[in-house]
Structure 1
């Protein structure tokens, strides 16, 4: 089963730093409002996760969520969370580090999509 969300080594290093400074974390892929469509990193529990949010997986042992409406657009892709220099979302923890998380993606292959559909049907 292909993972829905992965992180680069640079992103994992930044996640480790942020966990050391802030404790447990969580991610939510923004839907494009105030901070564009950036992956947002918060202290665990600072953003209320509801029935409309989908847990895509974990990166660096940190849960990664996306609103189900946005998930419908992205469900055929694997998200790859990276980090680049610069300021990102003003509510995301990495901003003060002079870095920002960035979502890259790749389309799942036909075989991967079939695996995902089979897994979804059994859940």
Structure 2
């Protein structure tokens, strides 16, 4: 029988919830665990649960207006911003706490340790 750690369960719940949110808003969908940075095309914004663009991927086909990630958040470890806008990521829901900015067309294979697995909300900035 396979057992999963609490972190693995939380990450799965986050990205299943985000996929549901994204799909219902027409934004995109979760990709399989074999996703890579090259799967983030055009003007998409992509978040990955693991460093080096690994793990589960959630992508937006156009920039989100901003908002709080689903309640089981704090799982983002790498980011691809294929847009012409800065995206600000925040430690807490509602744009609070630490702020990490990813510039236009930037890719972060590993976000800094101080924000890794702590991102709860985001907005163009």
Give the TM-score of the pair, scaled to structure 1. Answer: 0.33
Work out which structure has the larger RCO, using CA pairs closer than 8 Å and 6 or more positions apart in sequence: 1
More helix by share: 1
Q: Which has the larger Rg?
A: 1
Give the TM-score of the pair, scaled to structure 2. Answer: 0.32
